[in-house]
Structure 1
């Protein structure tokens, strides 16, 4: 792949290449899917293994990558972050900022995307609106495209940018939705729904479809168009199920080209937490976002006939208005279907005896979507499980989730009387006084691809987020749920990502000329400090901290980087000229040397030092900051170091005489020989009396085998139900 100015000539060239390999123009036309000629040079086609091999050997072909499938990572939050309506009066250039979203599309009729009072799109906009299926754009949604390389459509899919899943509508409204007062989920969370930059424009690139499947070829096509159309910030709430090398990752490749064109890509960290090495979207040129709680949680109480009350986690929109018989799923086995009490206690489909469960509330020893209870004509479900108790799901029937010991108490009551009764109360909201904390499902570091680049970069609200929804998508995520809503409450790093996308657009609206790295640095170095006592994985959970959009527009100093810096980084990571071009797509890219070196030299806003077991702690990190604060200013370095580790900064005073001036310094980390050392956290904060520019410094140990070039550590994963993974 290489840059081209003329997408028409690119398409012609790609057709000729296909024709050479396939033997005829007709065969080339039948094989062809996409031409990526607007922002980078490449194409997608249907090929046999032999044809792939032929292409791989052709002169000028940098890489041939199979079309794998990636997954989706699925309004009190903005107030919680301090970006209140009083603050969010349009910034100087907010209406000129275009937020592009690679997602499941959008529901254009949603009240979050009305264009009342908005002028025409900015003159720089070059995008189009694909209007199939009665889809329409306006002065809010200024661009919309859809992609389906495999040609297969589910019966629920719209062959247009219209969203049948809900995910894309939710993320778009979180990032840039217009204010709408009176939004709620069946009365829960009622209030003002809005995005971070309500006056910014939205462009949608539908690359994901029913089942949350997102094709590699479609993702690259979306990036190609978004870059050429004129987007300023890209929000990409999807990724691989486990970390992959940059040269095999379409999001890393696409976001590299976006960066090259001045566009910052905000990515979700993934929902495979709390396993270590599970964070995805690890490329240093994009911004990776973990998910954390806000100061509101949803609770649905269980009230038993003996007077006992238990507070469960659920977004329960149903009111039973009375008490009903209770039964334990383990006492209602569907023997005719081959179930036993050991399987029916989980209440999955086909395991329950409807003659026993009809009209009753069923206690289940498993967190599931309630479809098994509904199938067995049950009235509601009380679930008992220790997983995922720090956020809430919604369900297609009255439901709540208790801890296992509470579930045992409910079971004991059921068996203590011949007529057990109870009820599940409609959901309520309670204050979460310990927020923000990183939620359990949020993927954790270390960075499995580059050990000395800290990922995730920061954290943002991703738990129980109220935002717009597609009215044709089941609000609980269960296919048996036939209800329709305009707003929904869901959780995931998919929800935290657009919060950062909106914050990045907010910064961009103040500083249109800032590079992606400068915006990223501003967001990271002004992030609020997180308490490691609440998050035992510390920076591996939350990166630089919790996003603070208001502080980010006045960062004081930024750590800037550009294309050549990232190319140098890749070369020092063991990439050679051939593998480098798999990412850059540019046949002029080259590595003067591919000798492996640490990633310490990349001008990154955080510092991570991995030490092989049995080695001494030692690292030197050169850094350069650019003054974006006051012309005449002096910054002093304040250092926080963990016990037994020495951190020094040379020089420890930086004086600036003008805005835009750069100053360099060295960070030196020293300590004794270590083995099996968990994460040790420190920080460097540059302070001029007004700005506090904070960079976390972490030290941790790894196995010696993990220090080899191009070694990707696989996450320690746990099997969870498809329901859980599907909702996130």
Structure 2
């Protein structure tokens, strides 16, 4: 969840008086440090060449605050791609600022949190895919994250030509930071350097657009070639995060710079909880990016499989869920009777088949209850030295290591598996864990060992792990989120040698990370790849191509169906030739907001300038030209649901598409017209999809089907989701 600047650290009259009545410059500086950071958003930049954003912002602040030292209050000024500033203000000053001419909205600076050697091959984007090197090297993928480790081989500029002429950015990475023809730009809004210390930024950057690096592994595990979606593409990095989080005023500054710098794609694996889009820096910044043709990919978060927890819900971004790949790490357990029990994990410790005592419950602790000991609770494992600890939960294995254990076996229910550990680790699912537990409870001297991991093909992939946040969309109920699924489980990519790992005393250049943070840059890489072959497409066209060509995923393996995986699993090589696309103009998004509870000021905040709603122009959520179709209904609904859509031909002239329905017996669906004929590329055709009301009564959760427009070679697929 987000942490808001509105929360007082010291909720006292004394604090407010300190903020409002400083006695000297230094006193004010200290007092302002305790005040809240607010973002004042002023929309589009004036067209006058003489306009100075910084001067204007200082003048406004001078009228708002009661002291003369504006520089103490001003945090940062936005003036490259849109207009606004962030400042430390009291609540009364915030209210006064909101009434100033030209200020569209004022909202607190939210604190956001940070949410591969096989993954691109699994998606079908390998060396044999169609690449255009001279165009690919002109693609710029902006990474808004926690910095980068520029010396990583993934960021080598070997084989990459001169920096594109369209690049308008700078290399301001700070102390001991050097750019090259790969990492062409760097900016930092925290600390003194754009250098990455926790590896998150390096990992996401290399996944999106890292150069090819052969022979990458972690101690021989998962060896292969690490690469991004556009290995010849360029990377500017915008460091907005520090250990305490990533504040909204920095995020908006990064968007302001990235748009002006000339990026083609932005990837941002951050989240701050669900909020209205007119108060969300990511939503505001990405809207401005979209109007410039820039695609923004975002992570839906790692809040688990409870419904309605997905983050980053604006309809103009690509919201990405995490999925598994077909590379599975199998780590078997052998009990004292020689029986092999199948397990999962990444384990490079070789116990050489030696059997060790299995510590479980009472045999793992003499200072905690048996229940706590079986859960391997903190401080309980005091009799596990030289043993393998068995835990009912997937806990932090550092407890077992601290107790002197040689290994641990954990009970998990997820397809997700832990990365390399400081001791031998194996995870067992419900069935296999119960088999091990039965052996332990029935044996007077239970023993076992953990074998070294083997890499095998996972025929069940892709599956959405339980950590990946689920829809439905809690801000826009009739717009489906997430949009797409991409690899996010055990992704091996560039790492910072300063970052901690589970390998004691060992720094690494490449390491495994798991999360929707890892899935998001995969889609950024795919979007960049699509732009290399379709450079003139709008952001909505690229998004449509990615969504409508996705592999359909199996609802029997993902109980939450489209709420888990969106349109399906990303399919890059088909996305460059989708046949038809659903395009959405800037005004369409704004007219949709007009049909909701957004004020004129709120919509103007998103638009970046004054925008007036009219009854004639309003667009309902269901009729926004989105590549998927969703409708929230009451359980007793009996009225028909109608979706209106328009597709644009990006294929050949003379194409004829026929509607095919992947039907659901609970839904009665009709498409009119059922055939679309296109005389030329760029031609548009409209149609309606009607879900009969008679079939809606009794729906208890989610029911889904899909519409496919096919011309014999293209299959343009849109999920149809009805839910209560």
1:394-451 Cα deviation digits (max 9, x unpaired): 3222212223554455455556666544322222212101111222222111111111
Match of residue 328 from structure 1? 360
Taking the aligned partners of 1:399 and 1:605, their CA distance within structure 2 comes to: 43
Q: Does 1:176 align with 2:196?
A: no
Task: Find the partner of 1:281 among 284, 303, 312.
Answer: 312
1:563–1:388 Cα change, 3 Å:
same
Q: Secondary structure at the match of 2:371?
A: helix
- Aligned pairs for 1:302-321 (under 5 A) are 302-321=333-352
Match of residue 536 from structure 1? 559
Match of residue 2 from structure 1? 43
Kept after mapping to 1: 8 A contact 2:346/2:417 = no
Match of residue 141 from structure 2? 99
How much has 1:161 moved relative to structure 2?
Answer: 1.1
Q: Does 1:13 align with 2:35?
A: no
Kept after mapping to 2: 8 A contact 1:575/1:594 = no
Taking the aligned partners of 1:43 and 1:30, their CA distance within structure 2 comes to: 13
How much has 1:317 moved relative to structure 2?
Answer: 2.4
Q: Does 1:566 align with 2:566?
A: no
Match of residue 89 from structure 2? 47
Which stretch shifts more, 61-70 or 99-108? 61-70
1:311-358 Cα deviation digits (max 9, x unpaired): 2221122223333333225434363xxx433323332432222xx222
Task: Find the partner of 1:217 among 249, 254, 258.
Answer: 249
The TM-score, its normalising length taken from structure 1, stands at 0.89
Match of residue 472 from structure 2? 446
How much has 1:236 moved relative to structure 2?
Answer: 1.2
Give 5+ residue unaligned stretches, structure 1. Answer: 154-158, 702-728
Which stretch shifts more, 104-113 or 343-352? 343-352
Give 5+ residue unaligned stretches, structure 2. Answer: 1-41
Match of residue 704 from structure 1? none
Match of residue 160 from structure 2? 118
1:274-295 Cα deviation digits (max 9, x unpaired): 1111111111111111111111
Q: Secondary structure at the match of 1:517?
A: helix
Match of residue 665 from structure 1? 687
Taking the aligned partners of 2:679 and 2:437, their CA distance within structure 1 comes to: 72
How much has 1:571 moved relative to structure 2?
Answer: 0.6
Taking the aligned partners of 2:548 and 2:723, their CA distance within structure 1 comes to: 21
How much has 1:582 moved relative to structure 2?
Answer: 3.2
Match of residue 21 from structure 2? none
Q: Does 1:618 align with 2:649?
A: no
How much has 1:489 moved relative to structure 2?
Answer: 1.7
Kept after mapping to 1: 8 A contact 2:81/2:260 = yes
Kept after mapping to 1: 8 A contact 2:330/2:343 = yes
How much has 1:452 moved relative to structure 2?
Answer: 0.7
Kept after mapping to 2: 8 A contact 1:349/1:371 = no
Match of residue 22 from structure 1? 65
Match of residue 609 from structure 1? 631
CA RMSD of aligned residues (A): 2.3
The TM-score, its normalising length taken from structure 2, stands at 0.89
Taking the aligned partners of 2:293 and 2:206, their CA distance within structure 1 comes to: 24
- Aligned pairs for 1:310-709 (under 5 A) are 310-321=341-352, 322-333=354-365, 335=367, 339-353=368-382, 356-384=383-411, 386-404=412-430, 406-411=432-437, 413-414=439-440, 420-476=446-502, 481-586=504-609, 588-593=610-615, 598-672=620-694, 674-701=697-724
Which stretch shifts more, 507-516 or 637-646? 637-646
Taking the aligned partners of 2:505 and 2:700, their CA distance within structure 1 comes to: 51
Taking the aligned partners of 1:46 and 1:389, their CA distance within structure 2 comes to: 45
Kept after mapping to 1: 8 A contact 2:173/2:195 = no
Taking the aligned partners of 1:608 and 1:416, their CA distance within structure 2 comes to: 52
Taking the aligned partners of 1:333 and 1:216, their CA distance within structure 2 comes to: 46
Which stretch shifts more, 366-375 or 2-11? 2-11
Q: Does 1:143 align with 2:185?
A: yes
Taking the aligned partners of 2:668 and 2:341, their CA distance within structure 1 comes to: 49
1:561-589 Cα deviation digits (max 9, x unpaired): 12111111111123221221232332x22
Task: Find the partner of 1:255 among 286, 306, 312.
Answer: 286
Taking the aligned partners of 1:642 and 1:417, their CA distance within structure 2 comes to: 51
1:616–1:598 Cα change, 3 Å:
farther
Taking the aligned partners of 2:442 and 2:702, their CA distance within structure 1 comes to: 49
1:389–1:89 Cα change, 3 Å:
closer
1:55–1:315 Cα change, 3 Å:
same
1:488–1:425 Cα change, 3 Å:
same
1:516-571 Cα deviation digits (max 9, x unpaired): 00100111111112222222222222211111111111111111112111111111
Taking the aligned partners of 1:444 and 1:350, their CA distance within structure 2 comes to: 34
1:250–1:197 Cα change, 3 Å:
same
- What is the number of equivalent residue pairs in this alignment? 679
Match of residue 230 from structure 1? 262
- Aligned pairs for 1:186-201 (under 5 A) are 186-201=219-234
Match of residue 296 from structure 2? 265
1:122–1:308 Cα change, 3 Å:
same
Taking the aligned partners of 1:438 and 1:13, their CA distance within structure 2 comes to: 49
How much has 1:9 moved relative to structure 2?
Answer: 0.9
How much has 1:168 moved relative to structure 2?
Answer: 1.2
Taking the aligned partners of 2:152 and 2:369, their CA distance within structure 1 comes to: 47
Which stretch shifts more, 64-73 or 387-396? 387-396
